[in-house]
Amino acid sequence: MSLDFIPEVVQVIPQSNKTVVVYFLTGHIRLFDASLLSKKGGVFQRLDDERFFSDRCTVLNGTLAWDVTGNRDETQCLDVDPFYLWNASYDIDEPEPLKSLGETLVFPHSPLAR
């Protein structure tokens, strides 16, 4: 991966199986298995709590994060290095519930929007 490319996350959708659908600014949709983090222990053990995992999953600092305080404080979150996130995830198609809406999500700054 070139240093010209810095993965930036624009949306995340937590799933029930400790995975997260991650939408990148490039238009890529990737699936990340967050159990890789919780298995490491330490601060990421909080991800074992299903409610915390789903309710606090968000985008902070341009990457996947979990908002520890509920105040969207970027200094009080569990965030994932965007390069690690990109390398540890894989491309997927648009999730089925979103496909059924009849539109593909395209973000304004995405190359797909041009």
Distance of alpha carbon 107 from alpha carbon 112, whole angstroms: 8
pLDDT number for residue 4: 80
Instruction: Find the length of the chain.
Output: 114
In the predicted model, is pLDDT for residue 103 greater than 60? Answer: no
**Domain spans of the chain, in order of start:** 9-113
Token pair belonging to 113: 């929007």
Other CB atoms closer than 10 Å to residue 61's CB: what's the count? 15
pLDDT number for residue 110: 43
| Each residue's pLDDT tens digit, 56-91 | 999 999 999 999 999 999 999 999 999 999 999 999
